[in-house]
Amino acid sequence: MNKIVLLLFIFISSSLIAQKRSQKDNFVVQIKKVKGDLNKDNLADLVVVTQDTINPKAPYKLSIFFAQPYGTFKLIVSTIKAIDPQYPEGKNGYYNGNSFYDITIEKGILIIKNELTRGNFEHKFRYQNTNFELIGFSEVYSDGQGTMGMVDFNLSTGIRVSTSERYDDSNEKPTKSQKKILIRPLPKLQDFKPFTTEFY
């Protein structure tokens, strides 16, 4: 009886390990790779976006590696939540209009760029307090009926500016509003998922 239980335990453990490995190893298609100094040590760090094309949702994985003094790289953070899957509801499901476009490093800031059906949005992360924290969100969009909107949210200061204007022949004047919305603590990259709040 003990032997059967032991064999069953080994089989289940092996299956779980194999499943974990296969899930992890499916992110093998490299979509984007960029280098730049993210932690101000004058070494070019590495950011890689890979995709699991076997999964029907085709999720992306974002991995950040800090450069080490002798040419090697150390994994600092890896997440599959920060970029929406290519097919959030599966290839035959509803398409929400969001699609990953690019990732860049500008002045030490990591920027994740996405396209909308009518517009685009960006999330900006800076390495501080031993984490990559969300410090900025911007969006440009159209309602498809002659109105264009823009949002610029500086999470560091809490200042969120929204503007709206007509791009057709209407004589309506542009509108602009500014609010202070303090988000504390700042969202960390490893926990971040876009548009889980109304603000970013």
Burial class (CB in 10 A: 0-12, 13-18, 19+), 161: middle
Give domain limits for the chain: 26-191
pTM of the model: 0.84
Rounded CA-CA distance 3/181 in Å is 61
- What proportion of the chain, given as a percentage, has pLDDT over 90? 74
Confidence at residue 91, expressed as pLDDT on a 0 to 100 scale: 80
pLDDT tens column, 2-46: 545 444 444 444 444 444 444 456 999 999 999 999 999 999 999
The per-residue b/e assignment along 61-82, b for 16 or more CB within 10 angstroms, e otherwise, is: bbbbbbbeeeeebeebbbbbbb
pLDDT tens column, 81-135: 999 999 988 887 766 677 999 999 999 999 999 999 899 999 999 999 999 999 9
Query: pLDDT tier at 171 (50, 70, 90 boundaries)?
Result: confident
